[in-house]
Amino acid sequence: MPHTAALNQDPSPAAPSPRDPTTRRRAVGNLSLAFLCDQFALGIDGLASRDALLVMAINQANVILLTKDPDARRRYGGVDAAAPDVDRRPVSVSRIAASLNLPYETVRRRVHDLERRGVCHSLDGGVIVPEAYLTSPQYVASIMAAHERLRRFWTELAAAGLLEPLPEPAYETDEGAPVRAAVRILADYLLRSAEHLLPIAGDASSTVLLLGVLGLNTEVAPDPVAAATPVRRAVSMRELTERLGLPAETARRHAMELASRGRCARTRGGYIVTEESLAVPEWRTFFEVNQINVQRLFAGLAERGVVAAWAKA
């Protein structure tokens, strides 16, 4: 098994870790916001961002018990090995609605539409994302793209010296990175991030939109530590709707609401999140929690053998 140090960096030498905790936290945060925006923009099989978030939350709830079983983790870690429907635990619409701070009727209506498209399936006790959808070529292409962006996120953080030492792998990965396992761990991070952004943005759609504004108007510098306060540019409504897959009227309404609450500013060039907007206690808390969650994300990936597989590739 690779030495722990090898799990914390790309094959190229890592930069020294920044000592100032505020600089470190903001550098991790800037890379994370760009990463989160890209992941929500990538989405799932062409679904709108809000629907992709629903599918992610349902699927994670379906397999939560399996992720605690080492044998199941081995069986269902590969890209071609989704857990069968019989092993999935249905989750109620009300629970999903509560977890995402969405109205029950909105979630019920969206789940019904997803059922018609074969993305979800209702059973006694709730709803599941079926194996047939999770092994479809379109879904597999989506998780492969998400996995590749995740690998690049690791490379960016490691090159900047922004990761703490990671644990040794507990699973062999001779056949390469277990993509499906990696994406399940990634989904936990995405949902935790959405949970901590919800109090700032107000609801799931506004959270996706706020991430879009932040991700698109933040120009991450080649050295994210030296430029912990990045250059920002306004992002147009057209850019937001095209990147995030939100209906124009939905995006406009939520952007105006965010601007009215001071979460972003509306300018002649579009919408922007200013440094003043990020100075409020809620954002400071987000950056603090995010740094912990990023380390937790990569510790989980290292334990599952994903980081070791990346380092060997």
What pLDDT, in 10s, does the model give residues 47-97? 877 788 899 999 999 998 888 888 877 787 777 888 899 999 999 999 999
Residue 263 lies in a domain: yes
- pLDDT for position 219: 62
Residues 6+ apart with CB under 8 A from 194: 53, 100, 204, 207
- pLDDT for position 6: 39
- pLDDT for position 203: 79
Q: How far is CA 62 from CA 67, 90, 130, in A?
A: 10, 6, 10
- pLDDT for position 211: 86
DSSP per residue over 142-211, as a string? HHHHHHHHHHHHHHHHHHTT-----PPPSS--TTS--HHHHHHHHHHHHHHHHHHHHHHHSSHHHHHHHH
Residue 225 lies in a domain: yes
Residue 266 lies in a domain: yes
Total domains in the chain come to: 1
Name the more confident of 246 and 286. 286
- pLDDT for position 225: 63
What average pLDDT does the chain have? 85
Q: pLDDT, tens digit, for every residue of 148-190?
A: 999 999 999 999 999 999 999 988 766 778 899 999 999 999 9
Q: How far is CA 122 from CA 51, 69, 92, in A?
A: 16, 25, 9
Residue 202 lies in a domain: yes
Residue 40 lies in a domain: yes
Q: Which domain holds residue 211?
A: 27-312
Name the more confident of 65 and 11. 65
- pLDDT for position 40: 80
* This prediction's pTM: 0.85
Rg (CA), the chain: 19
Tokens of 10: 């790309």
Residue 11 lies in a domain: no
Give mean pLDDT, residues 1-28: 58
Say what percent of the chain tops pLDDT 70.
Answer: 89
Q: pLDDT, tens digit, for every residue of 98-145?
A: 888 788 999 999 999 999 999 999 998 899 999 999 999 999 999 999
Give mean pLDDT, residues 218-232: 62
Residue 17 lies in a domain: no
- pLDDT for position 37: 83
